[in-house]
């Protein structure tokens, strides 16, 4: 019983310190890697070149969703809408190029940094 009380106290402290954002980011990474997204990420990196920026950010206007934003050195971009309880599928991914400097700066500054494996397209938190 004491262990449960200690665990509950630790969870409350982590949540108060922003632990839930990290937890949501980790859940988002798991959902990216569980779906078909790694195939699309690998293909995107092979076609567009090395990743310059990768971030996973909460979507304040949509509870339970996060946004994956990947930008290559050639300024091509990939975005995926991640539902925290559903694997990310290719149909939830959009790509494009030539973002303006302001949008690039915004995408690079929001959320938690992540990395994309060029070998298999999986995502991990940095």
Each residue's pLDDT tens digit, 30-62: 999 999 999 999 999 999 999 999 999 998 788
Which regions in the chain score pLDDT beneath 70? 1-22
Partnered with residue 70 across adjacent β-strands are 54, 78
Question: For residue 24, how many other CB atoms are within 10 A of its CB?
Answer: 18
Q: How far apart are CA 42 and CA 91, in angstroms?
A: 15
**What global pTM score does this model have?**
0.79
């Amino acid at each position: 019983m004491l262990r449960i009380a200690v665990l509950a106290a630790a969870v409350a402290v982590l949540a108060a310190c922003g632990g839930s954002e990290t937890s949501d980011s980790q859940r988002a990474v798991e959902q990216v890697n569980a779906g078909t997204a790694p195939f699309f990420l690998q293909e995107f990196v092979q076609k567009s070149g090395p990743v310059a920026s990768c971030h996973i950010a909460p979507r304040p206007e949509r509870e339970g969703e996060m946004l994956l934003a990947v930008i290559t050195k050639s300024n091509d971009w990939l975005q995926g809408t991640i539902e925290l309880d559903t694997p990310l599928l290719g149909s939830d991914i959009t790509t494009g190029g030539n973002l303006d400097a302001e949008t690039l700066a915004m995408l690079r500054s929001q959320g938690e940094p992540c990395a994309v494996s060029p070998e298999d397209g999986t995502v991990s938190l940095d």
